[in-house]
Every structure is written in C-alpha cells, then in structure tokens.
Structure 1
C-alpha cells in the first residue's frame, strides 16, 4: 500500500474533518442513541416532551456547550485544557463581587473576560515554551483557580442581583438568550475550523505537529492563541453561569463542569490525540449528556447513579473513539 507523505496525511485529516454538513460528520450512531433515549424517556415521563422541559434542558446545557466548543478546537490541535471549568468559576466569582461592590455591569463583565483570557494566555505560554504536558499544566491551574474562586468569594455566596437576570432567564421567540449565545459560539468556531487557515492549521498541528512546523505553520503562536481563546470562552461561560444562577456560590465545582465538557467532546468523536473532530459532533454530545441528566431526573434515578451514568457514557465513548481510530 502506498504510504502518504506526512504533509499529505495532515492535509487529508483536514479534508476529512470538513465533510459537507448534511453528512453530520458520520454521527448517525450518536443520533440513533439520542432518539432511543428520547423515546424511552417519553414513555417513562409525560413531562419530558413539554415545551418548558425542553427549553430548560437547552438552557442548562448552554454553559457546557461553550466550554465544549472551545475544547473541540483545542483537542483537534492536539491540546487539552482542564482548567476551563475552574476559570469559568473564577470569572463568575470576580464579576459577582464587582457587581455587588457597585461596579457597572458591562465593566465588570469586561474585567472578568480579560482576566479569564489572561489565565488562558499563561496556560498557553507555559505549555508552549516549557514543554510541560498540557494535562499536567492545566490540571495544576485548575486546582489553583478553584482555591482562587473560594478566596474571591471568601467562602460565601455573592448575589449579582438583577443585573444579568434577563440574559440568564429571558428568551426571544421562546429561544433562551443563553442558548443563542452558545449556538453563536459553536457556529463561529465551526465555520472557523472549516473555512479559515487558522482552522486548517489546528487540524495540521493535531495531525502531526512536527510536519506542521516544517510546512511553515507558526505552531507556537497558534497554540498560544488557542489557549488564550480557551480562556476567553471560559470567561464567557462564567458570565453565563452567573446570569443563570444570579449568584456566585462556593459550591459550584469547576472540575465537574470541565469533565462534563470533556465527556461531551469525546462522545462527539473528537480524537484525544488530535487531528480529528467536528463541532456538530460536540453539539450532539452536549445535547446527549443534557438529555441523559434530564431523563434520569424525571425518572427519579438517584443523583449518585447519575454521576455513574455520565462516567459510564464517557468510558464507552473513549473506548469507541480509540477503536475507531485504530480502524
């Protein structure tokens, strides 16, 4: 069998990842699982297919969708950021404290987004120029940020009042503002991956970083920009959480949010080793996790079993991902 040149291989990976949208990126099996779950839950609970419940599910998954969309781009480029959830919690705490202290809402949000982007930039610089494994560096950052969030809140809940109530609980034509924001992020990042040189560079770096560097791609700059973007998206997710909850609480666990996002990305088919992934798959993964959580609640399943269910789904998806990659 003829062996492809490494650069040609990276190009092929990028082309495979940009299949026409109507092919759904080969996620027919995932869609089938979702349909089966919907049918089973519908028979088990009359409340599942009601408009209020469906809107609630979409509102709940919006924050995870923003983080998962960013992780998709980063994992395609061969990276990982386990600090995004914790970064979001820090942003939520910082913005809440600023608003509670009398700061203008818009200025508080800007400060929170800048701080979150700076955290992402630091992650990118450490990972790119010290050769520390992304998993280790960002997990350490996540631990640091969890403590920082508690320090900012001083261990107490801080209310943001009515400042972000409309954004967190309002809707236009029945569509929640949070969902619109999440959909916008997914669409923009999906188009970026498909139609821009930045997106193609991400696929090439994830496919083979050395070949990408030899082909003229500014690998270091691209990776730093990616991690900075992850920080900004984490900040947006934090603002969305604050808008939805109306308060920053020390009980919100950043690592739990992060693991849910990672699960959604892996379930959606993004390769853990990089070079492969679609935004459609991630969106389906986020929706599947949201439906699973909602279904278990409606069916009266214990919250402990819900965590086990998410872990089981992630493990199965990871095994299927690895099996498909070997094929």
Structure 2
C-alpha cells in the first residue's frame, strides 16, 4: 500500500505539470481551433533558457546560485513572452485569415527552430542544475519504507494549483474571459458585437505561452535538465489530452492533464517504463476515437 501511495505522490507532481500545460494549450487553441505544436516547444525552450542563463550567471558573472537561478527564471519568461508576440503577430494572425490549416505546419517549423536554438546555444551539451530543495517530506512510513515528496515537488504543485485557480477565476469573471468565450464560439459574431478579436487572440496566445514557460521553469528546477527533444514529446501528449477533453474549457483540460500525469506515474511504478509513452499515447488515441464516435452518435441526422 505504501508503494502505491508513493507512486500516487509522484503522480501529483507529474500531473501538475501536465495540468498547467493543458490549461495553457486550451487557452490558445480555444481561439485558434488549430493544432499548435509550438506550445510544447515553448515549454522546453523556457526550461533550457533557465538552465543556460543560470549557468552563465553562475560561471561568467560570478553570481550566487539563488541569484543565477533568478536570472534564469527572468530570462525564461522574457523569451517566452517574445516568442508569444512573434507567434501571434507573424504566424497566427496572417495564417488564421489566409490559410488556417497551415498553422500546424508553421508551428512545427517554430518547434524545430526553438529546439535547434536551444541545442546550439548549449553546444549540444546537457547542462544540469544542482539539486535544490531536495529534502524529503514524509507522508507515511512503515516496514522501513517511506512515502515522500521533496520540498521542490510540493512547491511546484502549490505554484501550479495557484496558477490554474487564478487563471480559471480570471476566465470566469473578467471581461477578457467573456470576450475569450465569445471569440471561441464565433469570432465573426464577436467582432460584430464590438469585441477586439485580434487583442483577445493575442492575449490568449500570451497567456498560453506564460503557462508553458511556468511549466518549463518548474520542470527545470525539479529535474535539473530538459532534453532538446522534450518539446515535441510534451507537445504531442498535451495535444491528445486537450483534444479528448475539449478546447473550450481550460479547467477541464487541466483535469485531463492531471489524470494523464497520474496515469504515467502509476505505469512507471508497475510496468516497463520503456513502453510507457507508447501505451499512454495509444490510450489517448483510443479515447479520442471513442469521444468522436460518441459525438457523432449524438448528432441528429
């Protein structure tokens, strides 16, 4: 029982990261209605930027470790905001009017550019942060076994929970949230009612990028490193998770991301980890097919 509890505790942290990514993805795709492969790229690029900037600050600027990490966090969010502005102005806005289906191809190109930029900046080396706040907190113990989470895991979960709750409240009660729902339903009708569709889309893209950057920062601080190909892997997972839950409810997408992360943790605890991604993606594909079949069955002829 303690072993199961430990795997479930591990799933809390993994699920929190997926939940934040899914929330940001649904926020952006609610207005785009197209596949956005750049979301996972911003997540990985932000984590890599934090590590590269922190290493530079520590080794070249002779900053203390906390100051170097703070520099890395600031750089990660700055680059994420810059990437969001570029995507919104030069990719999404032109293609949404001329060729919406080309957005998937364009964001794949953005993913490749960000991945290669991170790889070249690191000179293809894997740079690692030292373990931080790694002291374990015991939740249960018995028979020489302890079910624990580290302080950094608890901090990550708390930050993610706060970010999602605040984001959901903002969408539910703010003017931007009302305009966002209107644009998601029908951008043409929203524009006729006086909604600035361009500003809403830009805000949604920016919010999604900030959520991805926050997830990348938290992942980098916990794992100490993010691989160059992580953007594509995480992007595909979040794409399937959000497609199953629906794009018009970021909060529901976050619950789906959390459940997916919990499932991954339990799989890693009881089955061969080499097959984890394949089986989890196959499960998501099957759920997507079943969800689509269910919607078709409810559609009147």
TM-score between the two structures when normalised by the length of structure 1: 0.74
Conserved? CA contact 1:164–1:246, under 8 Å = no
Separation in 1, partners of 2:9, 2:93 = 41
Q: Quick check: 1:312 aligned with 2:263?
A: no
Q: Quick check: 1:114 aligned with 2:78?
A: yes
Q: CA deviation at 1:162?
A: 4.3
CA displacement, residues 37-80 of structure 1 (integer Å, 9 cap, x when unaligned): xxxxxxxxx45532x32221111222222111111222222445
Unpaired runs of 5+ residues, structure 2, are 136-148
Separation in 2, partners of 1:321, 1:75 = 18
From 114, 122, 128, the counterpart of 1:153: 122
Separation in 2, partners of 1:215, 1:150 = 46
Count of residue pairs the alignment pairs up: 270
From 222, 229, 234, the counterpart of 1:244: 222
Q: Where do 1:1-327 residues align within 5 Å?
A: 46=1, 49-50=4-5, 52-79=6-33, 80-101=35-56, 102=58, 104-125=68-89, 126-131=91-96, 132-133=99-100, 134-162=103-131, 170-171=150-151, 176-250=154-228, 252-267=229-244, 269-271=245-247, 276-279=248-251, 281-301=252-272, 303-304=274-275, 306-317=277-288, 319-321=290-292, 323-324=294-295, 327=299
Q: CA deviation at 1:165?
A: 5.7
Q: CA deviation at 1:322?
A: 6.4
Higher RCO (CA 8 Å, separation ≥ 6 residues): 2
Separation in 2, partners of 1:188, 1:136 = 32
Please name the residue that 1:17 is paired with. Answer: none
Conserved? CA contact 1:165–1:243, under 8 Å = no
Unpaired runs of 5+ residues, structure 1, are 1-45
Please name the residue that 1:13 is paired with. Answer: none
How well do the aligned residues superpose, as a CA RMSD in angstroms?
Answer: 2.5
Conserved? CA contact 2:14–2:265, under 8 Å = no
